[in-house]
């Protein structure tokens, strides 16, 4: 059965059946002209939107539908994480090709709904339309943060240490593996044999780390690495008016990713930091706040690695051996 065999009401019912029961702050949910929500007291609101477009951000030939749904929400949760915000609600705008199989649609929604439930985020509404071309998932999320606790990009100062969560380059390696693999290999990879492929398909946004950093005021600046570490370093440096030196030898690169990059003729460090899709956080910490950082992450903040230091600037460099080299350009949309 194809999505074009269903009415709009039937598609909405299929989505609703996969959502958690509505929270008490949702006064009017799906089914009216708009949703009505009671704001959380004494909190600021953090809002962002991100789109996944077929052919640009994913390839349906090797991205299982549940991963498409998972990633569409994960990229947004990662933005909330980077702000230190607690996820609250999402609006879902879908442009669906008529030939999309209903089973694939259901799996896509299930992937998104599972991640939403894990982060206690509620889908309060959205929009459905046909697409004459690609499948497009546009997700708007809102979260909350206490006044003066939002993590911005602009607070880094010379001397601050630069940290990243998790590993860098895993998702980029995973994507390359998927692109180069035959159908059979892909099926094996879907069984999560490859850590890198799993990191690409099912990124885990660092929501908890962001929350802990915000509450503890341990970080001076923070952003997510959706477009890779090289891009993140440049962005924080530019927003904060500092330079940055990143130590290639300190980069947390998964063994599997390093082997893949080495085997495919690339420099592992460069490949790892120019590849996007990691959805890890980069953040900066004043030297006298290292204790505060340790305290912040004691309760399940996940692995972090110090990868560099902020300088007077303005150069952003990658230190390879003892030599400063210009930070490579990261992935960019458009020109």
Region 37-96 residues binding a second copy, contact defined as CB under 8 A: 37-39, 43-51, 53-57, 79-80, 82-83, 85, 89, 91-93, 95
Q: Which of 22, 64, 126, 313 binds a second copy (CB under 8 A)?
A: 126
Interacting residues with a second copy between 216 and 245 (CB under 8 A): 222-224, 239
Q: What phi, psi does 304 have (nearest 5°)?
A: -130, 155
Q: How far is the CB of 76 from a second copy (least distance, A)?
A: 9
Residue 314 binds to a second copy (criterion: CB under 8 A): no
Of 164 and 253, which CB lies nearer to a second copy in the complex structure?
164
Q: How far is the CB of 142 from a second copy (least distance, A)?
A: 8
- Return the closest-CA partner of residue 17 out of 97, 126, 106: 106
3-state secondary structure at position 262: helix
**Distance (Å, whole) CA 164 – CA 35:** 37
Of 1 and 249, which CB lies nearer to a second copy in the complex structure?
1
Of 42 and 183, which CB lies nearer to a second copy in the complex structure?
42
- CA-to-CA dists, residue 78 to 120, 141, 254, 272, angstroms: 14, 10, 20, 19
Quickly count: other Cβ atoms within 10 Å of residue 185's Cβ: 16
Q: How far is the CB of 320 from a second copy (least distance, A)?
A: 27
Residue 34 binds to a second copy (criterion: CB under 8 A): yes
Q: How far is the CB of 184 from a second copy (least distance, A)?
A: 28
Piece of 7-15, 65-73, 111-119, 288-296 that binds a second copy (CB under 8 A): 7-15
Q: How far is the CB of 54 from a second copy (least distance, A)?
A: 8
Interacting residues with a second copy between 271 and 300 (CB under 8 A): none
Q: Which residues contact 77 (CB under 8 A, 6 or more apart)?
A: 87, 115, 119, 121, 141, 205, 207
Beta bridge partners of residue 49, listed in sequence order: 140
Token digits of residue 74: 């994960």
**Distance (Å, whole) CA 52 – CA 121:** 19
Residue 103 binds to a second copy (criterion: CB under 8 A): no
Residue 11 binds to a second copy (criterion: CB under 8 A): yes
- CA-to-CA dists, residue 91 to 29, 56, 123, 148, angstroms: 11, 21, 6, 26
Q: Which of 1, 21, 24, 33 binds a second copy (CB under 8 A)?
A: 33
Of 11 and 114, which CB lies nearer to a second copy in the complex structure?
11
**Distance (Å, whole) CA 198 – CA 322:** 34
Token digits of residue 63: 């991205």
Interacting residues with a second copy between 129 and 168 (CB under 8 A): 129-134, 136, 138, 140, 142-143, 145, 150, 152-154
Q: How far is the CB of 284 from a second copy (least distance, A)?
A: 14
Q: How far is the CB of 321 from a second copy (least distance, A)?
A: 32
Of 260 and 279, which CB lies nearer to a second copy in the complex structure?
279
Q: Which of 28, 102, 107, 110 binds a second copy (CB under 8 A)?
A: 28
Residue 125 binds to a second copy (criterion: CB under 8 A): yes
Q: How far is the CB of 39 from a second copy (least distance, A)?
A: 4
Residue identified by tokens 């206490």 is 146
Angle at 281 between CA 280 and CA 286, to 5 degrees: 150
How many residues touch a second copy (CB under 8 A)?
72
Quickly count: other Cβ atoms within 10 Å of residue 31's Cβ: 10
Q: Are the CB atoms for 108 and 68 separated by under 8 Å?
A: yes
Q: Are the CB atoms for 281 and 223 separated by under 8 Å?
A: yes
Q: How far is the CB of 77 from a second copy (least distance, A)?
A: 11
**Distance (Å, whole) CA 50 – CA 276:** 15
């Amino acid at each position: 059965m194809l999505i074009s065999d269903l009415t709009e009401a039937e598609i909405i019912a299929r989505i609703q059946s996969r959502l958690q029961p509505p929270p008490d702050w949702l006064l009017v949910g799906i089914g009216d002209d708009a949703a009505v929500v009671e704001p959380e007291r004494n909190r600021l609101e953090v809002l962002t939107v991100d789109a996944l477009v077929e052919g640009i951000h994913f390839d349906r030939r090797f991205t299982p539908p549940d991963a498409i749904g998972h990633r569409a929400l994960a990229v947004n949760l990662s933005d909330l994480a980077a702000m230190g915000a607690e996820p609250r609600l999402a609006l879902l705008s879908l442009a669906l090709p008529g030939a999309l199989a209903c089973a694939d649609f259901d799996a896509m929604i299930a992937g998104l709904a599972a991640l939403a439930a894990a982060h206690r985020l509620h889908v309060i509404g959205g929009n459905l339309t046909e697409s004459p071309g690609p499948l497009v998932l546009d997700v708007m999320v809102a979260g909350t943060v206490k006044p003066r606790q939002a993590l911005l990009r602009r607070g880094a100062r010379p001397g601050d240490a630069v940290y990243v969560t998790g590993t860098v380059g895993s998702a980029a390696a995973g994507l390359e593996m998927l692109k180069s693999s035959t159908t059979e290999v892909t099926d094996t990879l879907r069984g999560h044999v490859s850590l890198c492929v799993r990191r690409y398909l099912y990124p885990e946004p660092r929501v908890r780390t962001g929350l802990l950093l915000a509450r503890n005021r341990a970080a001076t600046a923070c952003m997510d690495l959706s477009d890779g570490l090289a891009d993140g370093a440049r962005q924080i440096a530019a927003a904060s008016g500092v330079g940055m030196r990143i130590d290639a030898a300190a980069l947390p690169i998964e063994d599997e990713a390093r082997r893949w990059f080495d085997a495919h003729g690339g420099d592992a460090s460069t490949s790892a930091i120019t590849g996007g899709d990691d959805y890890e956080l980069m953040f900066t910490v004043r030297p006298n706040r290292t204790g505060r950082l340790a305290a912040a992450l004691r309760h399940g903040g996940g692995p972090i690695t110090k990868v560099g230091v902020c300088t007077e600037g303005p150069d952003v460099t990658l230190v390879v051996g003892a030599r400063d080299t210009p930070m490579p350009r990261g992935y960019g949309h458009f020109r």
